C-alpha cells in the first residue's frame, strides 16, 4: 500500500513517515500542494494524508481538485489540521475527504484511521461482484462503484457512497447516526452526529432530494435517524 504524506512541516512529515513505514506501508512525501498533485497523478497512492494549511494552496483546494480529476478522484483522503472548528471539518467532508485528525495527534490514532479507511476501500473492492441496487430513479452499482439517477452518473465521495449503499441495502429500515457510523466506519470510529448529517446533506444535494418534499428519497426521523423509502 502506498501512502502520500503532505505537510509543510518536516517534523510532522517525518513522524508520520516513520510510523507508517513501521507498519510496512510504502510512503512518499510532499511539502506543498503542487508537489502533492504531481505525485498523486504520477504515483497513484492508495491513501493521501493531507494537511489543510500549506504554503501555496489550501488542503481544501487540493481535495477539490482531486475529486474533480477522473484519474485520481478515488484516492481516499485523511485531512490533518491544527484547526478544530467544525466549519473546516465540515467543508473538508463535503468536498469528499474520508476522515480527519487534528494536531496534535497520537500516531496510534492516525494509524487506526489509516487502517479503517484502507479497510473500507478494500471492502468496496470486494463488493464489486454485487448486483445493482435500484430504488425509484436511483441505481447504485457496487460493482462499478457508481450511482446513477435517471441514467446520469452522480459523483459521490467514498463515504457518501458507503452511506447511500448501506441505507439502500436496508431500505425501509431506520438507522440512528451511530448505527450508520458503525456500519460504514466501524464501532470504534470517533465522529460526531453532525458529520453524518453533513454527509447525508451532501448526498441529498447531489441526487436532487429534499427532506421537505412530500416523499423524500432519504427520510429524516427526528430524534431517531434516517431511512430510504420506496415511492
Q: What predicted TM-score, i.e. pTM, was given to this entire model?
A: 0.59
Report which of 156, 180, 177, 157 is spatially closest to residue 167, judged by C-alpha positions: 180
Residue 126 scores a pLDDT above 50: no
Q: Write down the pLDDT at residue 125.
A: 52
Q: Are residues 118 and 138 in the same domain?
A: no
C-alpha angle 213/218/221, rounded to 5°?
A: 85
**134 lies in the same domain as 112:** no
pLDDT for the residue numbered 85 = 63
| Same domain membership, residue 171 and residue 89 | no
Q: What percentage of the chain carries pLDDT values higher than 90?
A: 46
Residues spanned by the domain of 186: 130-228
> Are residue 10 and residue 120 in the same domain, yes or no?
yes
More confident residue, 102 or 204: 204
99 pLDDT above the threshold of 70: yes
* Longest CA pairwise span in the chain (Å): 55
Q: What's the mean pLDDT in 172-196? A: 72
Task: Write down which residue in 105, 125, 145 finishes a domain.
Answer: 125
- C-alpha cell of residue 189: 470510529
The 3-state DSSP class for residue 77 equals: strand
29, HSE (Cβ side, Cα atoms, 13 Å): 16
- How many domains would you assign to the chain? 2
Q: Is the confidence at residue 216, as pLDDT, over 50?
A: yes
220's enclosing H/E stretch is: strand 218-221
| Of the residues 66, 95, 125, the one at which a domain ends | 125
pLDDT attached to residue 187:
47
Please give the Cα distance from 231 to 212 (Å, whole number): 15
Amino acid at each position: 500500500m502506498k501512502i502520500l504524506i503532505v505537510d509543510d512541516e518536516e517534523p510532522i512529515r517525518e513522524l508520520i513517515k516513520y510510523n507508517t513505514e513501521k507498519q510496512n506501508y510504502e510512503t512518499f512525501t510532499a511539502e506543498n500542494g503542487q508537489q502533492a498533485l504531481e505525485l498523486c497523478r504520477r504515483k497513484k497512492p492508495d491513501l493521501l494524508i493531507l494537511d489543510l494549511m500549506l504554503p501555496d494552496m489550501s488542503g481544501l483546494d487540493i481535495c477539490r481538485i482531486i475529486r474533480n480529476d477522473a484519474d485520481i478522484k478515488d484516492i481516499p483522503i485523511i485531512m490533518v489540521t491544527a484547526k478544530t472548528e467544525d466549519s473546516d471539518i465540515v467543508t473538508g467532508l463535503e468536498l469528499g475527504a474520508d476522515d480527519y485528525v487534528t494536531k496534535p495527534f497520537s500516531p496510534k490514532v492516525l494509524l487506526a484511521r489509516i487502517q479503517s479507511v484502507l479497510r473500507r476501500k478494500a471492502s468496496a473492492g470486494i463488493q464489486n461482484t454485487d448486483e445493482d441496487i435500484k430504488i425509484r430513479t436511483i441505481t447504485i452499482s457496487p460493482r462499478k462503484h457508481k450511482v446513477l439517477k435517471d441514467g446520469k452518473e452522480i459523483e459521490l465521495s467514498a463515504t457518501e457512497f458507503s452511506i447511500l449503499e448501506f441505507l439502500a441495502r436496508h431500505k425501509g429500515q431506520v438507522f440512528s447516526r451511530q448505527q450508520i457510523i458503525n456500519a460504514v466506519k466501524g464501532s470504534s470510529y470517533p465522529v460526531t452526529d453532525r458529520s453524518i448529517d453533513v454527509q447525508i446533506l451532501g448526498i441529498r444535494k447531489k441526487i436532487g432530494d429534499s427532506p421537505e418534499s412530500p416523499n423524500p428519497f432519504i427520510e429524516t426521523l427526528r430524534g431517531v435517524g434516517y431511512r430510504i423509502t420506496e415511492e
